[in-house]
Amino acid sequence: MADRVKDNNFIQEKINQISEQSVIFRNFAEESISQSLKMCNYAEDLILFAECCDGISKEDLLEYLKSLSRDSLLYKSEATKLKEQIKNIENSLGRIAKEILKYNYKIIKERKDLSNYIDTENKRTNDAKLSANRSKIVAGLGLITAAVSIPLTGGASLVALGVSGLTFIGG
């Protein structure tokens, strides 16, 4: 019974860990979508910039490029964080999967060991039954021999008959 509780606790712990990773992944997906939308807007800004570049003064152009550069660095940083998040999720799920596989192998080994133990005990039981049946046959033969030899031994085999009978009955 204690093993079942231990198994249930292990399974519940792994379910909780996977659920935590699910929440983290959901947050990652939302952040990733938000980042993708920002990058889309950024690409549109670059296209607009390229189209409107001809009539802009150098100062305005430089200011606009600085703004785009700051945005680029920010988006790169956010993309790097997202990449790290997905790697952490992947590593966590990989560890959980390894722990589950290790536990599964342990259960399979214990089941095999138990099966081998049961087979050994069944063989012992069968051997004991066979030995008991052989003893009854030997005792029965002794009883028959003693009974047949009563006239030849002048009654001395009656003692053997009594002992054999007790052996046969006691089995």
Residue 163 pLDDT greater than 60, yes or no = no
Q: Where are the domains of the chain?
A: 2-124
Largest CA distance in the chain: 143
* pLDDT band (50, 70, 90) for residue 18: very high
CA dist., res. 76 & res. 39, Å (int): 10
CA dist., res. 49 & res. 125, Å (int): 90
Residue 171 pLDDT greater than 50, yes or no = no
**Long-range pairs, 68-75, Cβ under 8 A, ≥24:** 68/42, 71/42, 71/45, 72/42, 75/35, 75/38, 75/39, 75/42
Q: What is the pLDDT of residue 154?
A: 60
Q: What is the pLDDT of residue 157?
A: 53
- Whether the model clears a pTM of 0.85, i.e. scores above it, the answer is no
Residue 168 pLDDT greater than 50, yes or no = no
Per-residue pLDDT averaged across 22-28, rounded? Answer: 92
Q: What is the pLDDT of residue 43?
A: 83
Tens-digit pLDDT profile for residues 39-89: 888 888 878 777 777 777 778 878 888 888 888 888 889 889 999 999 999
Q: What is the pLDDT of residue 16?
A: 92
> Which one is predicted more confidently, 29 or 146?
29
Per-residue pLDDT averaged across 133-145, rounded? Answer: 66
